[in-house]
Amino acid sequence: MSPRVALVTGGSSGIGEQTALLLKKAGFEVYAVARRVDRMAALEKQGIHVFGMDVTDDASMTGGIERTIAEQGRLDVLVNNAGYGSYGAVEDVAIDEARRQFEVNLFGLARLIQLVTPHMREGFDKLNQRGRIINISSVGAVIYEPFGAWYHATKFAVEGFSDSLRVELAPFGIDVVIIRPAGILTEWNEISRDSLVETSRGGAYEKQARVAARTLKRVDNRVMSSGPRTVARTIVKAASANRPRTRYATGRGARLAMASRRILPDRAFDAVLTRAYLRG
């Protein structure tokens, strides 16, 4: 029997890179895609197929899926990992940047699902091969932070989208799984806090933004956060399970953060965030 085929977006670093490596180790035929192909040379040496894909470019996505199907004849697992967080006050973030976050974090994810679903459905109809779509959300789909409104909005949207999709695709043998990372040591944290400081420079929110950036930096260490391999192991678990859960929380502090949101009333949670992000 031929190995199951998996495609991982955002494969050039962090969670995507580690996921590609662990899926390969687990016996999958793995395709890792990203805009920065040069950063995936190490994956290629491990026998992973790599090529460029921009999830904001339709031709790039269409061509990538066509290539995978042409080479393998199937696609069993899609890991929608590409995404980023660009922080800043709602008043300060340019609407074009807000749209770009939705393009990368939601619409690119959705377009890839549109492209792979017919192939997964065909595999189930003809060979009884179940497909699996794994969408990387965030604990940020449960909690919220000042200056992260656009990012959190994309992740709340990903979860609503995924829940509806799960019911739609179940009759066709396609599972939809949500992964909620929290506190992961990748370049994501640095990018988000740097964008926050830069966007707020010279404006009404500059002082508070610098406090928030310090708070973000304080958790960006091995004591407070987990490595990307932690998330990758969870993704492989979701990809390999006969009957996966609908959601997996992973990373240091994920369960605590979600439990705090469930227990605390809105005003109490607001007060916690104000102390941590606005007053230092």
pLDDT tens for residues 200-246? 999 999 999 999 999 988 887 776 678 899 999 999 999 999 999 99
Q: Where are the domains of the chain?
A: 5-278
Output the pLDDT for position 203: 95
Token digits of residue 219: 């958790």
Cβ atoms of 38 and 15 closer than 8 Å: no
Arithmetic mean of pLDDT over the chain: 94
SS3 category, 248:
strand
Output the pLDDT for position 128: 85
pLDDT tens for residues 67-91? 999 999 999 999 999 999 889 999 9
Other Cβ atoms closer than 10 A to 95: 9
Token digits of residue 152: 């959190």
For the residues 144-155, what does the mean pLDDT come to? 96
Would you please indicate which residues are annotated as catalytic (active-site) residues? 151
Residue 31 corresponds to which amino acid?
Answer: Y
Contacts of 157 (CB under 8 A, 6+ apart): 102, 105, 106
Instruction: Enumerate the β-bridge partners of residue 226.
Output: 184
For the residues 95-121, what does the mean pLDDT come to? 97
Output the pLDDT for position 280: 62
Tell me the whole-structure pTM to 2 decimals. Answer: 0.95
Torsion (CA) 187, 49, 71, 239 in degrees, nearest 10:
-60
Topology of 5-278 in CATH?
Rossmann fold (3.40.50)
For the residues 53-72, what does the mean pLDDT come to? 98
